[in-house]
Amino acid sequence: MAFELPDLPYDYEALQPYMSKETLEYHHDKHHNAYVTTGNKLIDGTGLEGKPLEEVVKESYGSNPGLFNQVGQHYNHLHFWNWMKPNGGGSSLPGKLAERVDADLGGFDKFREAFINAGTTQFGSGWAWLALRDGKFEVMKTPNGENPLVHGATPLLGCDVWEHSYYIDYRNARPKYLEAWFDNLVNWDYVLELYEKAA
Ligand SMILES: [Fe+2]
């Protein structure tokens, strides 16, 4: 089955004032849509058609960079829409997440700082991540469409730090975007869901 662009799980206005309607319209309707349509074109004839997305992401990494860029970004954005919700963020994480954050990352404040720092210091386009590796939480950053899947870990939370994700609302202030995103938009229930699936 061909890749498909999902609807956003909320209205285009739902994440204001932290992420505008205009940003979501461009980001979802134009950018994510382009990853889907170009991915569907480039996968044709590779033998990967119809395979699960995660498998296509892992198999194209390194072997077919043109395809990987599209399917990696399709995977990342599918989750990105769900990693946000209106009235998200906050420091009271679900218990199972808080336990690992305390044990592996030195507590919530250090986790928040490390995540924002990862996104801020990612040179050029890319992503900041909370990932699960060998049962432990890890903060990572990746360039372009890469994600923890192709580095031996499972993505649990990712923030898009491509300019298309923040330039309309924050201009060049990427750290401000990351802070607002982390404090007001993160859907911790979805992070928990992914953790429970992976653990
Ligand atoms: Fe994006």
Give residue 97 CA to ligand 1 midpoint distance, Å.
25
* Domains of the chain listed by start with CATH number: 21-82 (1.10.287.990), 95-198 (3.55.40.20)
pLDDT value, residue 1: 76
Give residue 103 CA to ligand 1 midpoint distance, Å.
31
Per-residue pLDDT of the chain (199 residues), as tens digits, is 799 999 999 999 999 999 999 999 999 999 999 999 999 999 999 999 999 999 999 999 999 999 999 999 999 999 999 999 999 999 999 999 999 999 999 999 999 999 999 999 999 999 999 999 999 999 999 999 999 999 999 999 999 999 999 999 999 999 999 999 999 999 999 999 999 999 8
Give residue 99 CA to ligand 1 midpoint distance, Å.
30
Q: Which residues are annotated as a binding site for Mn(2+)?
A: 27, 77, 160, 164
Give the whole-angstrom CA distance, residue 68 versus residue 53.
11
Separation of CA 122 from chain center: 14
Give residue 182 CA to ligand 1 midpoint distance, Å.
16
> Residue 139, Cβ neighbours under 10 Å: how many?
21
Q: Which residues are annotated as a binding site?
A: 27, 77, 160, 164
